[in-house]
Amino acid sequence: AQSVAQPEDQVNVAEGNPLTVKCTYSVSGNPYLFWYVQYPNRGLQFLLKYITGDNLVKGSYGFEAEFNKSQTSFHLKKPSALVSDSALYFCAVRGPGNNRLAFGKGNQVVVIP
Amino acid sequence: NAGVTQTPKFQVLKTGQSMTLQCAQDMNHNSMYWYRQDPGMGLRLIYYSASEGTTDKGEVPNGYNVSRLNKREFSLRLESAAPSQTSVYFCASSEGDSRYSGNTIYFGEGSWLTVV
In which band, very low, low, confident or very high, does the pLDDT at A110 lie, cut at 50, 70 and 90?
A: very high
Q: Give percent of chain B with pLDDT exceeding 70.
A: 94
Pairing relation of β-strands B56-57 and B43-49? antiparallel
A3-62, pLDDT tens digit by residue?
999 998 899 999 999 999 999 999 988 899 999 999 998 999 999 999 988 999 999 999
CA A70 to chain B, closest CA, distance in angstroms equals 20
Kindly determine whether residue A97 and residue B40, on different chains, have CB atoms separated by under 8 Å.
Answer: no
Q: What pLDDT is stored for residue B41 in this prediction?
A: 83
* Chain B residues closer than 8 Å to A51 by CB: 101-102
**pLDDT at residue B1 above 90?**
no
C-alpha to C-alpha distances, A5 to A93, B16, B42, nearest whole angstrom: 10, 36, 11
Measured distance CA(A97)–CA(B49) in Å, rounded: 15
Q: What pLDDT is stored for residue B13 in this prediction?
A: 96
Contact of A31 with A94, CB cutoff 8 Å: yes
Kindly determine whether residue A42 and residue B110, on different chains, have CB atoms separated by under 8 Å.
Answer: yes
Measured distance CA(A106)–CA(B106) in Å, rounded: 17
Kindly determine whether residue B43 and residue A90, on different chains, have CB atoms separated by under 8 Å.
Answer: yes
* Chain A residues closer than 8 Å to B109 by CB: 42-43
Bond preceding residue B8 cis, omega within 30 of 0: yes
B67-B61-B113 Cα angle (round to 5):
80
**pLDDT at residue A93 above 90?**
yes
